């Protein structure tokens, strides 16, 4: 069960996101990441259902577990154009 403070915090993040989405540039960047968010959610659900740790999932997928590279929206777009 969530604590009251966590629920209030969650609502405020949602409210901020809704407000930020009114900015066209922010919304475009947010929408551009939708596929990545969906993939991450699906991987977390599959890992949870399979009772796997991240390392175990990485081994099953034949990849190494590493910290994701943090890149800006502009960097991703410039990578796509080259």
The Cα diameter of the chain in Å comes to: 48
Q: Give me the mean pLDDT over the 10-15 stretch.
A: 80
7 part of a folded domain = no
Residues in the chain: 82
58 part of a folded domain = yes
Tokens of 19: 């407000």
41 CB neighbour count, 10 Å cutoff: 10
What residue numbers bound the domain in which 60 lies? 31-66
Residue 80, pLDDT > 80, answer no
2 part of a folded domain = no
Residue 3, pLDDT > 80, answer no
Question: How far is it, in rounded angstroms, from Cα 21 to Cα 28?
Answer: 8
pLDDT of residue 38: 92
Q: Give me the mean pLDDT over the 3-8 stretch.
A: 56
Lowest mean pLDDT among 31-35, 64-68, 72-76: 72-76
Contact yes or no for 57/47 (Cβ under 8 A): yes
| pLDDT, the chain, mean | 79
């Amino acid at each position: 069960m969530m604590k009251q403070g966590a629920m209030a915090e969650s609502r405020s993040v949602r409210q901020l996101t809704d407000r930020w989405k009114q900015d066209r540039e922010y919304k475009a960047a947010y929408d551009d990441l939708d596929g990545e968010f969906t993939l991450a959610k699906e991987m977390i659900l599959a890992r949870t259902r399979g009772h796997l740790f991240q390392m175990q999932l990485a081994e099953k997928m034949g990849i190494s577990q590493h910290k994701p590279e943090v890149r800006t929206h502009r960097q991703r777009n410039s990578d796509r154009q080259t």
